[in-house]
Structure 1
Amino acid sequence: MRLATRPQATLTLWDEITPRRRMVGVYAPDIHQAVEVTNSLRLPFPPAADIMHLARNHILTQEPFTGRLTHDRALVLSSIRAGRIYVSLDDIGVGRGFRFSALKADATVDAQMGDEVTAGPVRRFRVDAPEATRALEAVIRLIRNGQAVATSPPGASRLDYEDARPGVYRVEIVAPKRSLPQAKSDIVWIYSNPIYVRAPSD
């Protein structure tokens, strides 16, 4: 955790691209397992297993897995393509249970993470945070076009925010340094994929 930093350049580029087109974000570590000591000596560090355990892609499928390879593989791939995936640094806390959606006035779901919808009446953006949020005193941040528009109190399990404007809305849940003894600063624990609210002419 001492080496963890916010990937600001990557997030900025993502926020610049997504107003023009959809782009699914995933955790994809660059694992070389090779620290060059001399021209002829390389150490296999850091171990791939350690890197893979730092974070996890959580995929939300439309239906349960069946145990049948062809069916389940299609479910996974369709969920990734649809952007129904979020990333959590599970080394900080278990990320299972996160949800991000947009609700209509009657509280029915209008859009889920990865969906594209047309701007119109006011929508309520709802973020449900994992159970570990409370112990971490983590803060939910709703981001529109790269700028935070709503922030929860530390440890809150839900954030609701209403907005009618077009924009690309995504979520970061930030764990504070005080909850992470080895961290040098606050760390983004969970990154969502966006909900895309397009202007009618887009």
Structure 2
Amino acid sequence: MYDYSGVVHIHSCYSDGSSNFEGISRAASQSGAEFVLINDHDTLNGLYKEGEKYLNGVLMLVGLEVTPKRNHFLCYDVESVPSNRLRPEEYVGKVYRDGGFGFLAHPDQKENCLFPAKMHWDNWDLDQPYGVEIWNYFSQWMSSFKNKTELLKSVFFPKACLRPPEPETLMKWDKLGEHRKVPAIAGIDAHGGRQFSWIPTILSSYKYQFRTLRTHVVTKEPLKGDLHHDKRLVLSAIKNGQSYLVNYCAGKIKNFSFFAHSGQKNWLMGEETIYSKDLNLSVKLPSKAHIKLIKDGKMFAKCFGSNLNISDPGPGVYRVEVYKGNIWPRPWIFSNHIYLRTQLG
């Protein structure tokens, strides 16, 4: 398997970000990211004016973010911009009818009394196979303060604002997984320094923001430096949940693995299969950490170590949470689901 780290939900100068693709790709390269997913607000101007390409060794891919007052939707593989005046079920439906796919953006973002914009999702009941942005850096930063004193703390210690994904988001995501595959991503919601140029912190730099949350894709063949080939590999992995989410403030990682196996057969994150008693689940880390195996939204097994192996776990929807550190464990890795079904379809 091949493992590639990327930054997702990035805004450029073609909406309210502060840089063009050259600057963003340079920051991504300096921070060690291998691909970037651009999501400008209600526009594909970046695609039309700069195009998808490799820049500074980084694969630059372009989607968009449909942004009404709330119910924002990140979408990819699209060639036209859905109107943000449509109802959510209409613009989400249009994306899928046109051959694209997408994710509910910051679906449970908390309202902040200092910045009272409401950008959560009202209703997840949509008749499309959408995914969910379960972790959003800027959303968590925005909800980390309730007064001016807390705002100053958040400005000068922004990395401390990163928490695990919202419990209600995880609960809804796990529940949806009982009925269908539901891919998840981690978004940064990066805008660069246009709005925060006076702040010498993570808020005013793409480079620093790119060192917060990452989405790692797992592929069965390597990237080749060919735009068409590599775009299909990365977007397919994102669409199908063959990925895991990492808080780089807690530590970098390569080749985390969570898989089901029976005999010579393996199933990766994002895949589903019929459950059988000879099926096992395995988690592997390069170093010891606190591993939690979640089944159907509830704790199923946990350990401190670099490996966790479970035989005959039973049918269910499984995912992994990893926390790093002993005194104050920090959220580190959240996997996509593996689906062990009693029946398919």
TM-score, normalised to structure 1, is 0.80
The aligned runs of 1:155-174 (5 Å cut-off) are 156-174=305-323
8 Å CA contact 2:187–2:214 kept in 1: the answer is: no
Paired position in structure 2 for 1:141: 292
Does 1:96 pair with 2:258?
no
Does 1:176 pair with 2:325?
yes
Change (3 A) 1:164 1:171: closer
CA displacement, residues 92-127 of structure 1 (integer Å, 9 cap, x when unaligned): 1112110111111x3x23311111101222321001
8 Å CA contact 1:101–1:109 kept in 2: the answer is: no
Secondary structure of the 1:170 match is: strand
* Identical pairs, percent: 30
Q: Which amino acid aligns with 1:65?
A: L
Paired position in structure 1 for 2:330: 187
Q: Which of 218, 240, 245 is the aligned partner of 1:82?
A: 240
Paired position in structure 1 for 2:339: 196
CA displacement, residues 47-99 of structure 1 (integer Å, 9 cap, x when unaligned): 25222211211111110111111111111111112211101112211121101
Q: Which amino acid aligns with 1:170?
A: R
Paired position in structure 2 for 1:111: 267
Question: Which consecutive residues of structure 1, in runs of 5 or more, have no partner in the other structure?
Answer: 36-41, 179-184
d(CA) in 2 for partners of 1:87, 1:75: 17
Change (3 A) 1:33 1:65: closer
Does 1:152 pair with 2:303?
yes
d(CA) in 2 for partners of 1:146, 1:32: 33
Paired position in structure 1 for 2:163: 5
Structure exhibiting the larger radius of gyration computed from Cα positions: 2
Deviation at 1:34, TM superposition (A): 8.8
Change (3 A) 1:67 1:31: closer
8 Å CA contact 2:193–2:204 kept in 1: the answer is: no
8 Å CA contact 1:59–1:76 kept in 2: the answer is: yes
8 Å CA contact 1:170–1:195 kept in 2: the answer is: yes
Paired position in structure 2 for 1:55: 213
d(CA) in 1 for partners of 2:283, 2:325: 19
Does 1:125 pair with 2:281?
yes
Deviation at 1:19, TM superposition (A): 0.7
d(CA) in 2 for partners of 1:201, 1:2: 42
Q: Which of 40, 56, 69 is the aligned partner of 2:227?
A: 69
Change (3 A) 1:164 1:92: closer
The structure whose RCO (Cα within 8 Å, separation 6+) is larger is: 1
Q: Which amino acid aligns with 1:125?
A: L
Question: Which consecutive residues of structure 2, in runs of 5 or more, have no partner in the other structure?
Answer: 1-158
Paired position in structure 2 for 1:182: none
d(CA) in 1 for partners of 2:344, 2:240: 22
Q: Which amino acid aligns with 2:312?
A: D
TM-score, normalised to structure 2, is 0.49
Paired position in structure 1 for 2:92: none
Secondary structure of the 1:16 match is: helix
Secondary structure of the 1:157 match is: strand
d(CA) in 1 for partners of 2:292, 2:174: 15
Q: Structure 1: which 4+ aligned runs deviate by more than 6 Å?
A: none
d(CA) in 1 for partners of 2:210, 2:169: 20
